[in-house]
Amino acid sequence: MRSMTGYGRATAAIAGYSLTVQVSSVNRKTLDLAIKLPDDWESLESSVAEQVRRAAARGRVSVAVELTGAKGGGEVVWDDAEIAATLDRLEALALARGVAFAPTPELLWSIANSQRKLAELPSAEEAAPVVAEAVAEALRAFVAMRAQEGEALLVDFLARLRTLRQHVDAVAARAPAVAPAYREQLLQRLRQAGLELDVNDERVLKELALFADRIDVAEELTRLRSHFDQFATLLKASGEIGRKAEFILQEIGREVNTIGSKANDLTISRAVIELKNELERVREQIANVE
């Protein structure tokens, strides 16, 4: 089991730059990719996306590939010839106008700073193997974190599944007593109304039979236990399980609702409320599973 929440980071060096790759994800029903690359390397987006698809099946996955270097960009390149030529032009202009020309350190810095440029980026083709390896390293950390969180989720799910089974067992234990209890209540009401009907009276028997049929939850309990077994097996399966788990939980919810609508007993109604509460907690958590 893997969580849909994860983070991975990797660094590499390329042509005087520091390359950083960060991969992060949050919940999504499908795989939704957001990839950010330097403008000159946009052609690498499809190959990066393919690497991510091999590592993740669901989630909003963001991949940021960033370059840093001197002055926050690449390596600063000074063109001495251009700086000297600019100084010569300034000196000629000054002499033509009869102005004394005495270059200062501040003037040299101003000219050099105005003409500085960043080292040229490697081409996308040259950068491709370095980017691919850095992305792969970041994805390994990303997948490991997802797996670690998935293990924690698995422990939680198994504990909650045991709780769900306990509530179902409580319903199953109480269910056989509901019809006899109703029978005693019915006879008591008849006596209080002054109607001394025999317990074997056809009308009494018919009412008890209809009631017993209406409250019978044996089929729902059987299906619930089957769904619990399917859910437990799925939790330990490999690959993408989130969607299948959501479907099983939907079916469990239907059975619980049916039991709740049939329940004519306070103990069963309380157990159904607990079932719904615990089921909602499982649904919230399963939204984090890939």
Judge whether 48 and 35 are in contact, CB under 8 Å.
yes
User: Same structural domain for residues 160 and 140?
Assistant: no
Task: In whole angstroms, give the CA distance from residue 60 to residue 49.
Answer: 12
User: Same structural domain for residues 177 and 236?
Assistant: yes
User: Same structural domain for residues 156 and 263?
Assistant: yes
Tokens of 222: 């059987």
User: Same structural domain for residues 185 and 220?
Assistant: yes
Judge whether 145 and 8 are in contact, CB under 8 Å.
yes
- Domain boundaries, position 207: 149-286
Q: How many CA atoms lie less than 13 Å away from 102 in the CB half-sphere?
A: 1
User: Same structural domain for residues 176 and 221?
Assistant: yes
- Residue 148: predicted pLDDT: 94
- Residue 136: predicted pLDDT: 97
Task: In whole angstroms, give the CA distance from residue 288 to residue 2.
Answer: 9
Tally of domains within the chain: 3
User: Same structural domain for residues 250 and 178?
Assistant: yes
Judge whether 37 and 48 are in contact, CB under 8 Å.
yes
User: Same structural domain for residues 23 and 38?
Assistant: yes
- Residue 111: predicted pLDDT: 78
User: Same structural domain for residues 60 and 131?
Assistant: yes
pTM of the shown model:
0.68
Cα–Cα nearest to 70, from 18, 110, 31, 22: 18
User: Same structural domain for residues 170 and 132?
Assistant: no
Q: Beta partners for 289?
A: 3
Q: Would you say residue 238 lies in a domain?
A: yes
The CA distances from residue 251 to 176, 218, 247, 285, in Å, are 24, 16, 6, 17
CATH of the domain at 53: 3.30.230
Q: Would you say residue 120 lies in a domain?
A: no
User: Same structural domain for residues 88 and 100?
Assistant: yes
Judge whether 227 and 255 are in contact, CB under 8 Å.
yes
Q: Would you say residue 42 lies in a domain?
A: yes
Q: Would you say residue 210 lies in a domain?
A: yes
CB atoms within 10 A of CB 285: 15
User: Same structural domain for residues 161 and 59?
Assistant: no
Q: Would you say residue 250 lies in a domain?
A: yes
3-state secondary structure of 236: coil
- Residue 74: predicted pLDDT: 44
Tens digits of pLDDT across the chain (290 residues) = 899 999 999 999 988 788 999 999 999 989 999 999 998 899 999 999 999 999 999 999 999 999 886 434 444 556 778 888 888 888 888 888 888 888 888 888 787 777 655 456 789 999 999 999 999 999 999 999 999 999 999 999 999 999 999 999 999 998 887 766 666 665 566 556 555 656 566 665 666 566 555 667 888 899 999 999 999 999 988 888 988 999 999 999 999 999 988 877 888 889 999 999 999 999 999 989 99
- Residue 240: predicted pLDDT: 86
Task: In whole angstroms, give the CA distance from residue 181 to residue 57.
Answer: 53
